[in-house]
A = this chain, B = another copy of it.
Amino acid sequence: MHRSIKGGKVAQKVKLSTIAESLGLSTATISLALRDSPLVAADTREKIKEQARTLGYIYNRRAASLRTSRSGIIGVVVHDIMNPFYGEILKAIESELDRSRHTFILSNHYDSVDKQRNFIETLLQLGGDGVIMSPAIGTPVEDIRLAEDNGMPAILIARQMEGLDVPTYRGDDSYGISLATNHLIGLGHRTIAMIGGTDQTSTGRDRYQGYVNALRKAGIEVDPELRIPGPRTKQGGFEAAVHFLSLPQKPTAAVCWNDLVAIGLMNGIARAGLVPGRDISVTGYDDLEEASIATPSLTTVWNGQAEVGRLAARALLDKLAGSHEPDGIHLIKPEMRIRQSTGPIHIR
């Protein structure tokens, strides 16, 4: 096809046969040479590559992929790539896939099962080799099966799903949140609120359970009123401050769903004239890059985002290479990071 380009230039589509004709060779030889096959003599290969470069040849992956049924495309779908928690996971996936020359296609599902299914279907249409996903709330098992049954293996991150033996990489949420809760108990806090998260995800249930377990173990009664579910963002944490500060139980500390909620909550607390870290102790979760530069710097739980991303990408690549990765859940062990946002109990 000829296309007239602005400026009067005409781009002529260069394909294997263009190179073949210009060199008096067959397309088979060109194809092999460009992919560094040892079947082609070294000097022929060099001549071919040189010619491809001068002609401005562009490899047509659609045509190749139609033939080989491999596309080199890997899909990644998470709740929201703008959330730095996922951002840090994605960065790790990106650097792992980069060195294997895969192209990765990213999408947000915003916890819409429809949007997620749509993405899976698009990926299948493009011949995607595999998909890494943090499943949307309410994802039916069939949606994952759709991918797997069509030869596109799936790896789960951050959230798990029941009734499915797909490799899953995530932090040990129950254990992690108990670290934060125990840290506060150790500082003398007894009235500890839990801010954010939802029972609709495995992560949400696990974290609440970890909080409850830690309190019980310390002999502290669990007061459901001290739980403020919902917030998952800075904005959410900021808005929850009003509710938190008006609780009649007067909590002296807050275990937050994640760092974003914690930072938002601290901003809200400061706006009300109290000093986070002194008047109210606050813990985060994830240890985002931002946690250490917040004011006050945030005591939080390292959740291994980079590990999750790296391992998930590795697992997928291994699977595509034919090795049989163990299915099931792989837990990353969280670690406590103690900073300035928590301190000894301080009666208001």
Do residues A60 and B238 form an inter-chain contact, with CB atoms below 8 A?
A: no
Q: Answer whether residue A223 sits at the interface, using C-beta atoms and an 8 A cutoff.
A: no
Consensus secondary structure, chain A interface: helix
Do residues A293 and B264 form an inter-chain contact, with CB atoms below 8 A?
A: yes
Known: A9-B149, A103-B105. A63 touches B61 (CB 8 A): no
| 9-residue interface stretch from A65-73, A181-189, A196-204, A212-220 | A65-73
Output the residue of A106, A234, A293 with the most chain B CB within 10 A: A293
Nearest CB of chain B from residue A81's CB, rounded to whole Å? 6
Known: A65-B62, A126-B62, A290-B234. A149 touches B5 (CB 8 A): yes
Residue tally, chain A, CB below 8 Å to B: 53
Q: Please provide the chain A residues from 264 to 280 with a CB less than 8 Å away from any CB of chain B in the complex.
A: 264, 266-268, 270-271
Q: Answer whether residue A35 sits at the interface, using C-beta atoms and an 8 A cutoff.
A: no
In the complex formed, the residue of B with least CB distance to A69 is B1
In the complex formed, the residue of B with least CB distance to A4 is B151
Q: Which residues of B contact A266 (CB under 8 A)?
A: 295
The CA of A284 and the CA of B270, in the complex, are separated in Å by 20
Do residues B151 and A3 form an inter-chain contact, with CB atoms below 8 A?
A: yes
Nearest CB of chain B from residue A132's CB, rounded to whole Å? 14
The CA of A267 and the CA of B103, in the complex, are separated in Å by 38
Output the residue of A62, A66, A90, A122 with the most chain B CB within 10 A: A62
Q: Answer whether residue A87 sits at the interface, using C-beta atoms and an 8 A cutoff.
A: yes
The chain A residues found within 8 Å of chain B, CB to CB, are 1, 3, 5-6, 9, 11, 56, 58-63, 65-66, 69, 71, 81-82, 84, 87-88, 90-91, 94, 103, 105-106, 108, 121-122, 124-127, 148-151, 234-235, 238, 264, 266-268, 270-271, 289-290, 293-295
